[in-house]
Amino acid sequence: MTTLFDAARQMRLSAPANARLEPGMTPRLAVQTLLDEGLAADALSLLARLLPRRYTVAWVCQCASREVLGAHDREGVALAEAWVRAPEEAQRAAAAAFASEHRYRTIGAWACASAGWTGGNLNPRNEQPTPPPEHLSAIAAMAAVTYMAALVPAQIDERRTAFVRDALGLLGIPNGMSGATQ
């Protein structure tokens, strides 16, 4: 099981964010503390890692559903959402392929990467399978949500905060810190 401090290290939280984390903090309290301290980017990163991966991808899709996105980004989000609804290898592979094809440069590509990096093999040309590190999906989700927040550059921190607040309740789910696929 991933601890709060493991998640902070994996997501490379800032020194000010790490200084505010305390032993015994619940995931929700940790993320709320970072928000209260004005550390929205760190709160977003920590939240993305502490949620089970399927919930993280669903959260990205929910955030995207409230944004005005172009056809490419909507297509990517739809692929990620297909994996959330049916977390099977075919959907995961389709999302991973979309992210790779679009070189991880757009909201849709990062949404797909968040689903695509929940499993599978990062190096299919090698005989030895290379599963993605457990936190890689969270990094992709963080990128997707950050790109969405940046759609209104003058309000990026406020938008990040709003996206994180929308998902705080998800931190109360059983096994929320496990990073489990589902």
Work out the end-to-end distance of the chain between its first and last CA atoms, rounded to an integer number of angstroms: 14
HEC assignment per residue over 69-129:
CCHHHHHHHHHHHHHHHCCCHHHHHHHHHHHHHCCCCCHHHHHHHHHHCCCCCCCCCCCCC
Among 126, 118, 142, 131, smallest CA distance to 52 is for: 118
Residue with structure tokens 């172009």?
70
Tokens of 78: 């739809």
Give yes or no for a contact between 87 and 80, defined as CB atoms under 8 angstroms apart. no
pTM exceeds 0.85: yes
Per-residue pLDDT at 127? 82
Gyration radius (Cα) of the chain, Å: 15
Which pLDDT tens digits describe the chain residue by residue (182 residues)?
579 999 999 999 999 999 999 999 999 999 999 999 999 999 999 999 999 999 999 999 999 999 999 999 999 999 999 999 999 999 999 999 999 999 999 999 999 999 999 999 888 787 888 999 999 999 999 999 999 999 999 999 999 999 999 999 999 765 544 334 34
